[in-house]
Structure formats: structure tokens, C-alpha cells
Copies of this chain bind each other. A is one copy, B any other.
């Protein structure tokens, strides 16, 4: 059932793209699996970029109930509280965010909303296996395929998430070997690469 597009400004025929920001399981500098804490600006920056590029939902994934509560308080401030009343653009962006206990819940929600399971596409700053080039994924989205993009906080997604994904996007490389981008910067660039206008047209 390709070609349904989405509600968030995506053109007809384009596949639906969702995004999940995982706080567990991710790795620390030593490569050990950990859970990371909420960063308020991650929520804002990812939601604003998602709204800009027509990403349908931003699933914020954490198993920690106190962290889920903190996210909900931040969201309430912007969705129904004084934040949103003061800044309608921010309310609009944060209305795309959903809090999930684990990746399964994010996948189930994405599947339920679009009536089919999206392809899971992970991101990693290191070479972590064969990749699906951006240009290829870009064409598949335009042809109607739907994706759930997975981003990890801390030092990135744990191996078990990378193994579960259907595909892996290439690391973002610039002028050399250094690619220690924040997840906020990396997610913005990935959304632009997959969903932004053709480079020669801008």
C-alpha cells in the first residue's frame, strides 16, 4: 500500500517517515550499554526539524518512568500550558512528539498509524556494517516506502538496535575523519539529506 504520504506536509505519493530518539539501549564511550537522561533541547530541536521536513512523528524512547514524566511535563508546558500559548510554532512542532517505553512501542505506533510496518533505518557515527546510501533511501521514500529513522543519544545506538534495523545510513562525513556531531545536528542533517530539496535546486 505505497503512496499514502502523510499529514505533515509530505507530498502525495511520498512514503511516511517517522523518527525515534532512543535513550535506551545506547552505548557510553566505552561501548557499554546504558540508558541516558533527557535533554530538553533534543526534544525541541528534533521536533522543529521534523515539522520542517515533514516527518510525521518523533518517538522519544525511554524505559525510565521518571524520565517519561519529565518529558510529559515539558510537552504539557508547550502543548496545553503557557509555552504553547506564547509560541504557536513551538506547540505545532512538539505536537509531533510521542513518549514510548521501548522501541517495540514506537514501531507498533508507527505501524498502527500507517497500517503497515515501516522499514527500520539506523544511524551510526562509525562504520557499523553495509549501508544504504542516502540517495537510495531518498528515492525509496519518494516511491512511497515508509521508514522509521533511529537515532541514539549518548555515544549512539546499542549493537542490538543496529542488528535489528533493516538498514543503516552512512556516517555523516565532512572534511576528514572527525564526525562527532551532536544527535541534534546529525538528525537535522539526515532529515535534510533524505527529505530536503535536491541539492542542485537550492
Contacts and interface: CB of A to CB of B under 8 A. Distances in A.
Interface string A168-193: 00101111101111101111110111
A111 interface: no
Contacts of A23: none
A142 interface: no
- Place the interface of chain A in its size category: 35 or more
How many copies make up the complex? 2
Given A52-B180, A135-B199, A192 B191 contact: no
Contacts of A174: 9, 52-54, 191-192, 195-196
Interface in A7-64: 8-11, 41, 44-45, 48-49, 51-54
A-B residue pairs, 7 tightest by C-beta = A54-B175, A9-B175, A9-B176, A53-B174, A185-B188, A52-B174, A199-B199
Nearest to A51: B178
A198 B135 CA distance: 10
